[in-house]
Chains A and B, each alone.
Chain A
Amino acid sequence: ETGVTQTPRHLVMGMTNKKSLKCEQHLGHNAMYWYKQSAKKPLELMFVYSLEERVENNSVPSRFSPECPNSSHLFLHLHTLQPEDSALYLCASSHPGTGVKAFFGQGTRLTVV
């Protein structure tokens, strides 16, 4: 248990659906991240939030929309996804006080049908 919780663990959605992934941490961290992990590829950074401000958007399509309402919560809103978006989506958080260690959630396995 790393202290970073992601829900749901599994999600199957159609291409016309709208869904959201949730990430929550109560570790006092001030930076949160979304990563995408596809088969046979390195983890890809999608978004970085630091102090609730988006500091990085790694050329992610607009069908992915992040939201960080406070330093403990991070959402990834999904709409009109494509089958190639099927992947494991990992949330992470970090803070200088942890020596810049990033802690990960268990991920959401997303399947787009």
Chain B
Amino acid sequence: AQTVTQSQPEMSVQEAETVTLSCTYDTSESDYYLFWYKQPPSRQMILVIRQEAYKQQNATENRFSVNFQKAAKSFSLKISDSQLGDAAMYFCAYMRETSGSRLTFGEGTQLTVNP
């Protein structure tokens, strides 16, 4: 069974600084997807970034980028130039490469952005 682990229950960062959230996962599959979702107090789960396991290049979306280490089964999220609106719960998630496949989530990391 696949598992996803986020070892940082809480993180904080100063506005305009950079923060990295950690995620590790366990799977025997070779093809899969990894995601970071953001859940602000509004409860809406918002997709931040996605990585295909077959791609060696790390995904980037504006201020958000990942460090994907397939051999180490590590998938960290880097937020650059942090903004107050980045404050939220961040979830790392795994999905097999099949439509209708489950998303397996980590426990989440609560990110606080200090002005």
Selected contact of B100 from candidates A43, A55, A90, A99, CB within 8 Å: A55
What CA separation (Å) do A106 and B39 show in the bound complex?
Answer: 10
Within 8 A of A (CB), among B85-111: 91, 95, 97, 99-108
Q: Which residues of B contact A (CB under 8 A)?
A: 4, 33, 35, 37, 42-47, 50, 52, 91, 95, 97, 99-108
19 CB contacts below 8 A, A to B, read A30-B99, A31-B100, A33-B102, A35-B103, A45-B102, A48-B100, A48-B101, A50-B99, A55-B100, A56-B102, A90-B45, A92-B103, A100-B33, A100-B101, A101-B50, A102-B35, A102-B95, A104-B44, A104-B46
Chain A residue numbers with a CB within 8 Å of B50 are: 99, 101
Q: Which residues of A contact B (CB under 8 A)?
A: 2, 30-31, 33, 35, 41-43, 45, 48-51, 55-56, 58, 88, 90, 92, 94-96, 99-104, 106-107, 109
A2 touches B91 (CB 8 A): no
What CA separation (Å) do A31 and B96 show in the bound complex?
Answer: 14
A43 touches B102 (CB 8 A): no
Nearest CB of chain A from residue B6's CB, rounded to whole Å:
9
What CA separation (Å) do A96 and B63 show in the bound complex?
Answer: 26
What CA separation (Å) do A103 and B48 show in the bound complex?
Answer: 11
Nearest CB of chain A from residue B46's CB, rounded to whole Å:
7
Q: A56-B102, A107-B44 are in contact. List 7 more A-B contacts (CB 8 A).
A: A42-B107, A49-B100, A95-B99, A100-B33, A101-B50, A104-B45, A106-B42
Q: From DSSP, what is the main secondary structure of chain A's interface residues?
A: strand
B106 touches A42 (CB 8 A): yes
Which of B35, B101, B106, B107 lies at the interface centre, i.e. has the most chain A CB atoms within 10 A of its CB? B101
By beta carbon, the residue of chain B nearest A109 is B43
What CA separation (Å) do A101 and B97 show in the bound complex?
Answer: 11
What CA separation (Å) do A39 and B43 show in the bound complex?
Answer: 12
Which of B35, B91, B105 lies at the interface centre, i.e. has the most chain A CB atoms within 10 A of its CB? B105
B99 touches A96 (CB 8 A): yes
